[in-house]
Amino acid sequence: MRDKVAHVDLRVAERAAGQHGVISARQMRELGIDRDAVSRRVAAGRLFRVHRGVYAVGHPRLSQEGEWMAAVLAGGDRAVLSHAGAAALWKLLKPIAGPVDVSTPARSGRAKRSGVRLHRVVSLRAEHCVRYRGIPVTTPARTVDDLRGAVSERLRRRAMRQAELRGFPLGDSQPRVRTRSELEDDFLRLCRRSRLPSPEVNVKIGKWEVDFLWRGARLVVETDSYAYHRGSVAFRDDHARDLDLRQRGLDVVRISERQLNGEPVRVAAVVKGALVRLSAS
């Protein structure tokens, strides 16, 4: 009898090992462990309840992947990690505190679970779901689409950019991101809010690619973040670029990330003044 119990416990441990340390009560029933046997293992400290019907095996401390997997198991047979949790698993966003988002195509079924935000999505199809790092999850394209309205537009665009950088297809319905950074996105939003003429974005001029160009006014605006413009090499490159652009008859305005975020009204006034001055000359 003892050997049989040990054999079953080994199978439970093996199953949980492939699921980041967690297992569901349904999966344990398939291995021959009924409700009473689960309760005995909980009392003995071999199983630890994570959600109703979902248990950690061996110890209660779960990795981030373990928490995601436990939430998926709590969602039922066809549940998948989705929304912000899926974005974090694909490394499109950093993990966001709060309930784990799980989607299921089922119209009814599981009751609410503490720590799990269950989305019943009739449109969720098999082609929208894959298994990544052992966790059922929505595809990157479906994940980015689900983020619309679930997170800020700024975070959604960050996820889109990361998906593109990682080579994940977003589908024809997803607009391509023209900019290369959130700082450039912020500057374009400032232009719209301030009713500035729309610039061309990421334009090749000679051997340089400039952030923003107003061709008629021959004005270039470069947005500089500390991460990409610190150090002596960046300093020399920036000055070489500015000198070359000025030799081509272009005016260059450099705007730092701190100025854009801390003094947006002043930044808009400087750009507007330069456009008026250069267009009149």
pLDDT tens track for 61-77: 999 999 999 999 999 88
Residue 230: inside a domain: yes
Do 69 and 154 share a domain, yes or no? yes
Same domain, 260 and 195: yes
Among residues 31, 57, 83, the one where a domain terminates is 57
d(CA 129, CA 119): 14
Q: Are residues 48 and 87 in the same domain?
A: no
**pLDDT on residue 232:** 40
Element (H, E) at 120: strand 116-120
Say yes or no: 265 and 227 in one domain: yes
Q: Are residues 68 and 18 in the same domain?
A: no
Examine the fold and report which residue of 19, 40, 57 is the final residue of a domain before the chain moves on. 57
Structural domain range at position 71? 64-165
Cα separation of 22 and 19, whole Å?
6
The pairing of beta strand 208-214 with beta strand 80-81: unpaired
Q: Do 124 and 190 reside in the same domain of the chain?
A: no
Orientation angle between helical segments 140-147 and 153-165, nearest 10 degrees: 170
Return the residue matching tokens 């119209």. 107
A 10 A CB-CB count for 168 gives 16
33 and 91 fall within a common domain: no
Which of 165, 190, 214 is a domain's end point?
165
- On whether residue 262 sits in a domain, the answer given is yes
Based on the fold, state whether residues 150 and 235 are members of the same structural domain.
no
> In the prediction, which pLDDT does 4 show?
58
List strands edge to edge, sheet with 80-81: 116-120, 100-104, 80-81, 135-138, 129-132
| Residues of the chain scoring pLDDT < 50 | 173, 175-177, 226-235
Q: Does residue 172 belong to any structural domain of this protein?
A: no
Here the tokens at position 144 are 């980015």
Helix (H, G, I), strand (E, B) or coil at 67: helix
Look at the block and give the residue holding tokens 């309930």: 99
Q: Check residue 235 and give its pLDDT.
A: 47
> What percent helix, strand, coil does the chain show, rounded to 5?
45, 20, 35
What is the model's pLDDT at position 241? Answer: 83
Q: Is residue 223 part of a domain?
A: yes
Does this model's pTM top 0.95?
no
Do residues 51 and 70 touch, judged by C-beta distance below 8 A?
yes
How many domains are contained in the chain?
3
